């Protein structure tokens, strides 16, 4: 996959910095993202999806250090379990820190995080300097967007930026596992 055009990357970062909601390609489906610390941006993203805040959202990053402020590492073995799959298409739920906003963790004690190897996600998180919210680009109850056309059909001009790029090669969204037990929470 070619690198993300620098001007498009800068535009995506500017949109995030201004509290915007962006769409971007991920490992399997188009994602919606925003700044995790911006409650207004997260609530707007959730309203676009028709998703209750109580479900929580995933944070996606290019390096574990970017999500470290949000997670407690329960043990060295748990961390090894997660890092053995990263960077890559694996999402792990860690115990959340006291500093993790409730609009990120929802009504859960944990926070779902992924350190991606998808080139567009890596470029975006590196340029932004931190993690972003990652949730599938679709209204609740509808299939996740697999094309730019589907993203536009679902959200029209309600998103602030659509970052071009190709999806990864996964057939469905990433599996979510509990980092403490290794149990699968979502296939």
For residue 30 the two structure tokens come to 């188009």
For residue 167 the two structure tokens come to 């999806």
Query: In whole angstroms, what is the distance from residue 25 CA to residue 123 CA?
Result: 11
Pairing assessment for the beta strands 175-178 and 90-95 based on DSSP bridges? parallel
| 4 pLDDT higher than 80 | no
DSSP-derived 3-state class of residue 10:
helix
| 13 pLDDT higher than 50 | yes
Question: What is the per-residue pLDDT across 103-159, written as a single tens digit (0 to 9) for each?
Answer: 999 999 999 999 999 999 999 999 999 999 999 999 999 999 999 999 999 999 999
For residue 73 the two structure tokens come to 């590492």
Q: Is 51 exposed, middle or buried (0-12, 13-18, 19+ CB in 10 A)?
A: buried
Percent of the chain scoring above 90 in pLDDT: 92
Taking each continuous run of H as one helix and of E as one strand, the counts in the chain are 7, 9
Query: In whole angstroms, what is the distance from residue 84 CA to residue 106 CA?
Result: 27
pTM of the entire predicted model? 0.94
Q: In the block, which residue shows the tokens 């990120």?
A: 104
DSSP 8-state secondary structure symbol assigned to residue 71: B
Q: Enumerate residues 6+ apart whose C-beta is below 8 A from 159.
A: 20, 21, 22, 23, 32, 48, 151
Q: Which domains does the chain have, with CATH numbers?
A: 6-181 (3.90.870.10)
Question: What is the per-residue pLDDT across 67-112, written as a single tens digit (0 to 9) for each?
Answer: 999 999 999 999 999 999 999 999 999 999 999 999 999 999 999 9
Q: In the block, which residue shows the tokens 């001007």?
A: 7
């Amino acid at each position: 996959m070619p690198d993300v055009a620098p001007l498009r990357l800068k535009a995506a970062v500017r949109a995030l910095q201004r509290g915007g909601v962006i769409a971007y390609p991920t490992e399997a489906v188009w994602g919606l993202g925003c700044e995790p610390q911006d409650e207004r941006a997260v609530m707007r993203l959730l309203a676009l999806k028709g998703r209750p805040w109580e479900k929580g959202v995933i944070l996606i990053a290019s390096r574990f250090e970017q999500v470290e402020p949000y997670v407690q590492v329960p043990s060295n073995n748990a961390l090894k379990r997660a890092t053995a799959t990263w960077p890559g298409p694996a999402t792990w739920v860690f115990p959340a820190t006291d500093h993790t906003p409730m609009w990120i963790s929802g009504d859960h004690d944990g926070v779902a995080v992924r350190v991606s190897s998808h080139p567009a996600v890596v470029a975006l998180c590196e340029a932004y300097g931190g993690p972003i919210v990652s949730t599938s680009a679709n209204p609740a109850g509808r299939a996740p967007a697999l094309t730019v056309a589907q993203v536009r059909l679902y959200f029209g001009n309600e998103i602030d930026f659509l970052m071009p790029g190709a999806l990864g090669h996964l057939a469905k969204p990433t599996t979510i596992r509990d980092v403490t037990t290794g149990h699968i929470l979502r296939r």
